[in-house]
Each structure stands twice: as C-alpha cells, then as structure tokens.
Amino acid sequence: MTTALVCYADGSEDIEVTAITDILNRGGVKVVKAAVAESGRTTVTLAHGSVITTDKNIADCTDNYDLIAIPGGLAGSEACRDCEILINKLKSQKNAGRYIGAICAAPGFVLSTHGLIGNARATGYPGCKTDTIINYCTDGVVTDSDARLVTGQGPAYALDFALALLEALEGKDVADRVAAGMLHSCAAK
C-alpha cells in the first residue's frame, strides 16, 4: 500500500493540510498525520483555529513513506523549517528518490532553505519565493516528476495540489476518479 506522511504544525494552513489528507485517503493512500511539535505532543492548532489531534509526533515517524507532504501557513512552515527531525527525513526522502510535496510558504521556507529543490521546477506562495528556487514557475501547481517534487502556490490551489500528489503516487486514473467523485473540474480535463 502506498503511504504518505502529512505534516501538521501549529500555524499550518487549515485548508491545505485538510485537502492533502482527505484526497490522499479518498485515493487509497495510507496517510499518517504527524505533529511537527515538541517531542510527544500530537495536538496542534492550525492557522485558522482548527485543533487537530494527529496520529503521531514527528519523532515517532520512523518508517519510510512514498510521500512526505508539507502544507503552508507562515507559522507552520517556520515550525517545519526549524524541525531537525523533519529536515533529516526530507533529506533522506530526496536521496531515496521518493516524493516530496510542499505548498504555499513551505516550498520557499522549508525546502528551499534546506537545499531540497535544486534545479527542479517549483512554485510557491509569491510572497515566500526565495532566490534559491532557480526554476520558479507561476503556475498554481507544478509537478517535476524527475525531481519527485510537487509544489503548489497557496490555499486556492489546495485541491489541485492534493490531486497532483495523488496522481504522482497512484496515477491519473485514480486522481481523475477521486476528482470526479468530488465534482472537481479537473476531472474533465
């Protein structure tokens, strides 16, 4: 079974983290929700007040995952950027050629800060673009299959981003089926 680690931190963007988790679950991916917080804590408060109890603390996520996904939100992205455990997992993920997904502030603040984008095509929230994203794109969602990287611009693209993650993991047919079941317009494309 395909697996995904979805990172939840205090200040993560509510709609982004929810869309990622929901759509991957609908597509049959086994999702592990991880709190990027001090050791042992599994409850976080998202950017717009949703209080979420995750499956595990990031320190307890010792398995390998087919995808590690990081939502945006300024405070949430900063927490992810500063979490040594998560950064080490992301570096191992990249080195193993497994997928990484990041949306909104996360591509610039988390991935770019730690050299995890390289020459890949990527996007992110325009105000959070850093000069180290060499091939920055203005598209809402960008998949660089060679780099095993999926990025998105922000909350308005949360569903498209999550569907792109699902397509990367399970293929276009599964992503289209999930999109159609949600009455999402990309299913007609």
104 is catalytic: yes
Check: CB of residue 89 under 8 Å from CB of residue 111: no
Pull the structure tokens for residue 127.
Answer: 């105000």
Q: Which of 80, 104, 128, 186 is catalytic?
A: 104
Cβ neighbours for 25, distance < 8 A, ≥ 6 positions apart? 31
The residue among 51, 55, 50, 44 whose CA lies nearest residue 8 is: 44
Secondary structure class of 85 (helix, strand, coil): helix
Check: CB of residue 35 under 8 Å from CB of residue 70: no
- Residues pairing with 44 in the sheet: 52
Point out the residues that are catalytic: 104
